[in-house]
Amino acid sequence: MAPAPRRRDVLRTLIGSAAVLSLPVGSPFRAYAQSDHTALTSTRLSDTITMVSGGGGNVVVAAGDDGVAMVNGGLREHAADLSKTVAEIGGGKPVRYLFNTDWHAEHTGSNELLGPAGAQIIAHENTKQYLANDIFLEWQHRTYKALPKVAWPTKTSYNAGKMTLGRERIEFAPLGQAHTDGDIYVFFPESNVLVAGDVLAVGTYPIADYISGGWLGGLMTASKTLLDLTNDQTKIVPGAGPVQTRADLKAQHEMLVTLRERLHQMMRKGMGAEDMLAAGATKEFDARCGDPELFVNITYRGLWLHVRELGGIV
C-alpha cells in the first residue's frame, strides 16, 4: 500500500481540481457571502444569560455585577446595533470578555469594535492565526481578509480554561478538528447553558470546513464531547437557529456516526462525492437537514485529508 499523502499535498490537489461549490438556499453559511439583516431579538435563557439573534449568528450575553461576557459577536456590519442591545441587557456595564467559538465572520464581527474598548477576546490559538491572515475558502470562492491587529484574540490557548463573572462560572475548552480546528465551547454550569457554536447545526447539515482543519470524524467526536457536558435540562445554543436540547444534539451525533462509517465505506469502493449523492448516502437525514450537496462535497474533501486514520482507501 502506498503511503498516505500529506495533508497539504491532498489539500492542494483538491483546491486545484475541485469546482467551486455553491451554497444552498437556507444554509446558515450564506452569511459569509451576504447578510440579510433582520431585527435583533433577545431570548432570556436564565436570570443572567440572554441569547441575541438576528446579527448574523447567535450571540450569548452573560451579565454580572462586574461586567458583561459575550460569546460570539455576529457579523461586522451589525456590531454597532448589537453593542447597543448588549448594553441594554447588561445595564450599561462594559464588555469584559468576548469569546470567539471559531474564526468565521458571523462570530467575530464585534472584535474590531470591542477589542479597542478593552474587552479581552478569548479564543483558540488557531482562531487567532486565521484572523491574522488572509484565508481563501475554496468552497465559497471567497477570500477573507485578515482582521486588523486590534481585532485579534488577546487570550488564546490550546487548553481548557475557566473564570467567574458575577455568580456565573464560565468554562471553555477546545473541540479538536471539528467544524474548524479552532472550535471551542463555552459552558455556564450555574445556568446550565452550553454554547456549541457551529459544531451544532439546526435545520441544515453541519459543515466541517476542511480549509480550516475541520472534518467529519472530528465533528462526530466534538458532538460526543458536548453530549457528555449536558443533561436533559441543558439549553444548547447553536451557531445559528433556535436553542436546542440534548435530544437534538444526540440526534446529530448519531447521524454523524452513521455518515462517517457510510461515507468511509463508499470511499473504499472508489466512490466520489457525486457518486455518494447519486446513491442517496444521506437520504434518511435530508428531511431534517435539507439539501446534502454542500455537506457531502465538503465532507468528501475533508475525509481525503484523513485517509491514514480512516484506512483502506489508498
Q: What is the pLDDT tens value at each position of the chain, 314 positions in all? A: 334 344 444 444 344 434 334 444 334 444 333 344 568 999 999 999 999 999 999 999 999 999 999 999 999 999 999 999 999 999 999 999 999 999 999 999 999 999 999 999 999 999 999 999 999 998 999 999 999 999 999 999 999 999 999 999 999 999 999 999 999 999 999 999 999 999 999 999 999 999 999 999 999 999 999 999 999 999 999 999 999 999 999 999 999 999 999 999 999 999 999 999 999 999 999 999 999 999 999 999 999 999 888 877 76
| CB within 8 Å of 277: residues ≥ 6 apart | 292, 293, 296
Q: What grid cell was written down for 184?
A: 471551542
Pairing of strands 120-124, 235-238: unpaired
Alpha-carbon separation of residue 107 from 102, 161, 271 (angstroms): 7, 20, 35
The 10 Å Cβ neighbour count of residue 77 is: 14
| CB within 8 Å of 231: residues ≥ 6 apart | 192, 246
The 10 Å Cβ neighbour count of residue 22 is: 14
Residue whose C-alpha cell is 465551547? 185
Check: CB of residue 217 under 8 Å from CB of residue 176.
Answer: no
221-243 burial, b if ≥16 CB within 10 A, otherwise e?
bbbebbbebbeeebbbbbbbbeb
Q: What grid cell was written down for 282?
A: 444521506
pLDDT tens, residue by residue, 41-93: 999 999 999 999 999 999 999 999 999 999 999 999 999 999 999 999 999 99
pTM (predicted TM-score): 0.89
Could you say which of 3.60.15.10, 3.50.50.60, 3.90.226.10, 3.30.9.90 is the CATH number of the domain covering 7-310? 3.60.15.10
The 10 Å Cβ neighbour count of residue 245 is: 14
CA-to-CA distance for 210 and 304, rounded, in angstroms?
10
**Helices and strands counted in the chain (H then E):** 10, 14
